[in-house]
A = this chain, B = another copy of it.
Amino acid sequence: MPSYKAPLQDINFLLKDVFDATSHYATLDNCPEITEDVIDAIINEAAKFAEQVVGPLNAVGDAEGCQFNDGKVTTPTGFKDAYQQYVDNGWVGLGCPEEFGGQNMPPSLGSVVSEMIGGSNWAWSMYPGLSNAGIECIGAHGSEEQKQTYLHHLVKGSWTGSMCLTEPHCGSDVGLIKTKAIANADGSYSMTGTKIFISGGDHDMADNIIHMVLARVEGAPEGTKGISLFIVPKFIVNEDGTLGERNTVNAGSIEHKMGCNGSATCVMNFDGAKAFIVGEENSGLQQMFTMMNTARIGTALQGMCIGNNSYQGAVEYAKERLQMRSLSGPKNEKGPADPIIVHPDVRRMLLTQKSLIEGSRALVYWLNQENDKSQFAKTDEERETAEAILGMLTPLAKGFCTEVGNEVSAIGIQVYGGHGFIREHGMEQHARDNRISTIWEGTTGIQALDLIGRKVLGSGGELLRGVTKIIHKYCEANKDDALLAPFVESLAARNKEWGEVTMTVGAAAMENPDEVGAASVDYLMFGGYVILGYLWSKMAQISQAKIDAGDNNPLYFSKVHTAKFYFDRIMPRTNVHLQAMKTGSANLMDIQEEHFIIS
């Protein structure tokens, strides 16, 4: 079982060489001064925690899973203790407001920490991750009293949070929610209903669990307009802040899943549970949406960082495993065979992983900085520009990074051959743990509709132009550079196609709205490959400049090579997606339901 190794070289390359984090942080307002020393300290400590404390629990968490007995969830051996260390080290409050005990760091730093903690053990990282969602939610929409009551404990980590949205009959379609809240005389509500797929809905790590629940106040309008957001604590909090009576919200069972077994996925039953409304009635959906950017970037990060494990494992194995001779002559003459990394097809697999994972990482880091700006930039204009880029690229990153993350995890198994299919090496766990990333926080299909429908066509193309303009300017500025010219030529052509196909689909959609859905996922994947092309060209450019300046760090050579690979062998995928989009919706819609014959 390979142990987790934080990808510090690539993280530092992005933070220092590509995205110049210290200069970026210097432009922000209302957050602490973040020097290179601060960044280094946080990253190195998080790496140590991931490698030494959380990572070693990844396999045991998968094998043991959570247990459900007598209505209570027990987490796998070691999970509780690791959580206590995480709390004691103050990690929970990293990005939380100072007035509640946090350190008020911008989201981008928290994301790098999440990348390593989650990369080392995604299931474990779900518990503190859900707390962050609750903190963000109450911080943005809760009353002052609610903030005082809940945030100190959540920020400290002595309590955790959960998000209760899904019900048996509704996932993506939140408007169908049935969970009901009836107003009590004291201003609280009585909540009744069943929620499913609730991560961290119950566990044994913290003294209290604060559920953020979407429900329908009795008599509210149908659909999404009648949804309200509530706080439902596991233990009611007394006025003096101590824990009072046990609320009537209980885990009914836990799910047996494909992966993320160490994370408890609960059915939660609300039996007249005491609930406290957040903000106004019927404004629950908008409140929930304010958290969606961070949550979706966090899921893009899941696809990337679990995929990263598969890549790392595959590289280690490919360098060690001796099997067959190179077709161009032995490379390890004294050994019984050559390491499989000599074989072109093994390299094709490794470079596919490398280019997709490192490209996805660059995309996530870009979005993290835009996320910082959207919250902490000094001017409205900067914040709005950042919001526009985020609005466009967040659904794209969520869909794309998780889809390619799954591809990368599948390749990780393939490089190991039969040894990838058995549990021993951990490769199959990565694939299982990563499988959910294309589903939760909105499936790829939902992201794709958000991207092309709500964002691109909904803005009359403005959000798209905000991004294609960046790429266009980049191409114009670099088209005469010898290294970059072939990249830029390809990139400029794809960028132009992106605009054109948007017009084509948009025009068709005026006649037939199904044209949007028929193009949507191909549109998202097309865009993802273009964005990664832009980032790979930039990374190659920056690396080549370092090489030209005499820096012999192998990482820089690696980036230049990987960019070439990406443009040669990955970028052509845009073509399939473009052609598919152009075929329109008839090839999907003309077939009748009765034609899907299965037996």
A residues within 8 Å of B by Cβ? 5-10, 166, 169-173, 176, 197, 255-259, 265, 311-312, 315-316, 318-319, 322-324, 326-328, 336-337, 341, 343-351, 354, 406, 410, 413-414, 417-424, 428, 431-432, 435-436, 438-440, 443-445, 448-449, 512-514, 516-518, 520-521, 554-555, 557-558, 561-562, 564-565, 568-569, 572-573, 575-576, 579-580, 583, 585, 587-599
Q: B554 near A597 (CB under 8 angstroms)? A: yes
- Docked CA distance A559–B349 (Å): 35
With A558-B591, A576-B575: A172-B323 Cβ-Cβ less than 8 Å: yes
A195 vs chain B, min Cβ distance (A) = 12
Most buried by B among A9, A171, A423, A517: A517
With A170-B323, A417-B439, A597-B554: A561-B579 Cβ-Cβ less than 8 Å: no
Q: A599 near B431 (CB under 8 angstroms)? A: no
Q: B432 near A414 (CB under 8 angstroms)? A: no
Chain B residue contacts of A583, Cβ below 8 A: 568-569
Chain B residue contacts of A257, Cβ below 8 A: 421-423, 428
Question: What are 12 of the A-B contact pairs (CB < 8 Å)?
Answer: A166-B418, A172-B324, A176-B336, A255-B422, A315-B596, A344-B585, A345-B521, A348-B518, A413-B439, A418-B440, A420-B439, A432-B432
Give 8 new A-B contacts, CB below 8 A, not counting A176-B336, A343-B517: A255-B422, A265-B422, A319-B596, A344-B518, A345-B520, A347-B589, A351-B588, A554-B597
Chain B residue contacts of A565, Cβ below 8 A: 587-588, 591
Q: B431 near A414 (CB under 8 angstroms)? A: no
Chain B residue contacts of A418, Cβ below 8 A: 166, 171, 197, 436, 439-440
Q: B421 near A172 (CB under 8 angstroms)? A: no
Q: B171 near A597 (CB under 8 angstroms)? A: no
Chain A interface helix/strand/loop/mixed: helix
- Docked CA distance A517–B346 (Å): 9
Chain B residue contacts of A561, Cβ below 8 A: 587, 590-591, 595
Most buried by B among A316, A449, A593: A593
Complex partner residue of A580 from B343, B443, B568, CB under 8 angstroms: B568
Q: A345 near B517 (CB under 8 angstroms)? A: yes
CB-nearest residue of chain B relative to A558? B595
- Docked CA distance A414–B516 (Å): 19
A447 vs chain B, min Cβ distance (A) = 11
A235 vs chain B, min Cβ distance (A) = 28
Q: B347 near A513 (CB under 8 angstroms)? A: no
Complex partner residue of A514 from B10, B326, B445, B513, CB under 8 angstroms: B326
- Docked CA distance A572–B7 (Å): 36
Q: A445 near B343 (CB under 8 angstroms)? A: yes
Q: B596 near A258 (CB under 8 angstroms)? A: no
- Docked CA distance A440–B414 (Å): 10
Q: A568 near B587 (CB under 8 angstroms)? A: yes
Q: A598 near B337 (CB under 8 angstroms)? A: no
- Docked CA distance A440–B417 (Å): 8
- Docked CA distance A424–B258 (Å): 10
Complex partner residue of A324 from B173, B344, B588, CB under 8 angstroms: B173
A215 vs chain B, min Cβ distance (A) = 17
- Docked CA distance A336–B171 (Å): 14
Q: A517 near B197 (CB under 8 angstroms)? A: no
- Docked CA distance A327–B512 (Å): 9
A484 vs chain B, min Cβ distance (A) = 16
- Docked CA distance A575–B579 (Å): 10
A353 vs chain B, min Cβ distance (A) = 10
Q: B348 near A521 (CB under 8 angstroms)? A: yes
A454 vs chain B, min Cβ distance (A) = 12
Q: A414 near B438 (CB under 8 angstroms)? A: yes
CB-nearest residue of chain B relative to A258? B428
Chain B residue contacts of A449, Cβ below 8 A: 345
A486 vs chain B, min Cβ distance (A) = 11
Chain B residue contacts of A265, Cβ below 8 A: 422
With A171-B418, A521-B348, A554-B594: A572-B580 Cβ-Cβ less than 8 Å: yes
- Docked CA distance A351–B346 (Å): 31
Chain B residue contacts of A572, Cβ below 8 A: 575-576, 579-580
Q: A598 near B311 (CB under 8 angstroms)? A: yes
Chain B residue contacts of A518, Cβ below 8 A: 344-345, 348
Chain B residue contacts of A587, Cβ below 8 A: 351, 561, 564-565, 568-569
